[in-house]
């Protein structure tokens, strides 16, 4: 039987609530098809610098414009398209090292910078 990517839970309420347990079943929306929407944000040319902040890096407006309206089979495909578009953008890729650009052209995320990587605290 194929994996349907369904999560299920039994929610149990406090005994004195008078509510019976409820069985809940749901699918992760990241695995469902959808259409890209949104406007993105005006970003500096060094777009990956924002990735080291707690809020993360916003999607640049010019990248969002290229992807808006496109249908994706799941969220991972949208992420891959975002990386490809950033790697293809002459201005945004100026401050990204070539090994990361190569990965991004294949839809993978760039390497974290050692000095600013979140793992380095």
| CB neighbour list of residue 99: distance below 8 Å, 6 or more residues apart | 111
**Residue 13: inside a domain:** no
**Residue 41: inside a domain:** yes
pLDDT in tens, 61-78: 999 999 999 999 999 999
Q: Please compute the mean of the pLDDT values over residues 48-73 and round it to a whole number.
A: 84
Pair of tokens at residue 36? 């890209």
Task: Give the whole-angstrom CA distance, residue 35 versus residue 52.
Answer: 28
Please count the structural domains in the chain.
1
- Structural domain including 47 reads 31-120
Place of tokens 């509510």: 19
Domain of residue 59, CATH code: 3.90.540.10
pLDDT in tens, 16-47: 999 999 999 888 888 889 999 999 888 767 77
């Amino acid at each position: 039987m194929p994996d349907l990517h369904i999560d299920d839970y039994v929610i149990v309420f406090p005994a004195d609530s008078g509510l019976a347990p409820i069985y809940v079943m749901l699918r992760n929306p990241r695995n469902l098809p959808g259409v890209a929407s949104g406007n993105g944000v005006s970003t500096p040319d060094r777009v990956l610098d924002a990735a080291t902040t707690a809020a993360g890096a916003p999607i640049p407006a010019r990248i969002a414009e290229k992807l808006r309206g496109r249908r994706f089979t799941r969220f991972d495909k949208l992420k891959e398209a975002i990386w490809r578009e950033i790697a293809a953008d002459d201005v945004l890729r100026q401050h990204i090292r070539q090994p990361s650009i190569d990965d991004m052209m294949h839809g993978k995320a760039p390497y974290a910078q050692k000095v600013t990587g979140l793992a380095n605290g």
